[in-house]
Structure 1
């Protein structure tokens, strides 16, 4: 079946995303040159290799809302989001007891090899430094008092929401198999979807103009797209290609993460399948053969197809919202292509 975005051609030129990425990367590099201390090389490595799509979405949100000609403020806000993202990844890898990130040892593993017995504590502290630097980049962005007044609450809500989402996910993981799909999706929105897609767009648009219409419209676009993004993440976490994703396939199963994929599987499995899933899911020492057995059960239940259909539906919902959004033509074209990349990515 062809992907839904294949039938939505655009004739209006989009925004120059490569230019945004280069400028954002330059801001981060320049920012690091102002820092010193033993944590610097560690954090530079933690930030390196990111796709920068959250910062880019922030700048696109600025342009979507007819922002001022100079987008320096949006670029700096976007750069700050990349530091916030890196901070979350460091802590997330600690919580998940992950071994790798982006094809390299996770930071707590790397630090443990250099400082035996202290890797986890050092990684948490390093993440906290990045959280502080994220705020420093925000506070040094060339924003007017009015822009700061508008952007501050949006940033506060984003940070509060994602950390609370992480807390709720950890609690749910401890409780065993999560079969409540609505609860799992709510956590996914808070922990990943909104901060990855919706909030960067809203923050950029909110900084650009006092008119709330573009930000509200981008929220309606970003929320279902963020859900599609996370649902894709669920599929990649169980069935992705490790050479592409940079993380061992099956880690979500070993961690027992409350994902939509697993919630649907738990709900549909018979007693024998449940017994097998319960024996292996949530076990950090599950073997490759046991993970393959779980993958086969999930496949036999038709769950990947159901999740794919959920992604398609949310993608279409986002596209319908974008069709009605009061945004600039170049931004609309760009958001169409970004939406396809986020919903149908392989990494």
Structure 2
């Protein structure tokens, strides 16, 4: 896509900002949003930052009927010096285009998308909270808008970015959560859309999540969709297990999302010379490790929660209490390091953070 300008229309009114200690994940939204259109043969065009507002979409828009949509999630953080920075945003847009390809959506210019997000965050910089553990969640997404009821890739799309000030994703925070292993329902299979970040994957997970939440579980751990034997991922997180001194995470097999935080955890562990492997791991292997005392730690990783220690796994009616239900040493170290890099309190030897230009000139 050729470089284009971003038209800016500032809101004439400002919303009341929620207090930092009252933030609920994904409930409040900032004053502005980014919108860009796609159509044949123009390509992506009409890039604009406008006041946050409802969308006007035809009832026959293909997204409502065939689910052609993708999204991403990343965050902006305010440092102790008042600067605003992003964490590995280029990885998010790289993954967005992989999702686009799987859903037959035209790719976006990754550099331009990053430029648009920086400008949007700069305009709404007052919404970036500064309390400990808070951030500005960034949600880019693309939907098919062509008014047509034929089953085919659409020829019209909208690329939208909205912003939301957030606190902790789980009410438990960094404290261990309870996870139920799902044996009945299937989220996705190799060859499906599991490695894409598309809404249908999450819709497919809701039933199992609804059922286990009644028993106090925070999330579902999904097994492979064919044999229902091998561990894949938690509903909103990738997953790691420390077994006999080695950290193991399920390998990317076509049905697991390649998490940005997952990649960061693996890089950190290798940087610390902690043994880490990406491979198939079955629930039977995990249960054996639990029974013989070599399952030392478990945690999930994701943009929303960063790191969530797993204090209990329940499979086939039996509870596995991991590390006495306490936060493990590696879980805590990874969490402290990643959040330290994100908030600018720790060294960033990997070049993961990108500064947002707080004094961007709005034209």
- Please indicate, yes or no, whether the TM-score normalized by the shorter chain is above 0.5: no
* TM-score calculated relative to the size of structure 2: 0.28
Bigger relative contact order, structure 1 or 2 (CA pairs below 8 A, ≥6 apart): 1
* TM-score calculated relative to the size of structure 1: 0.29
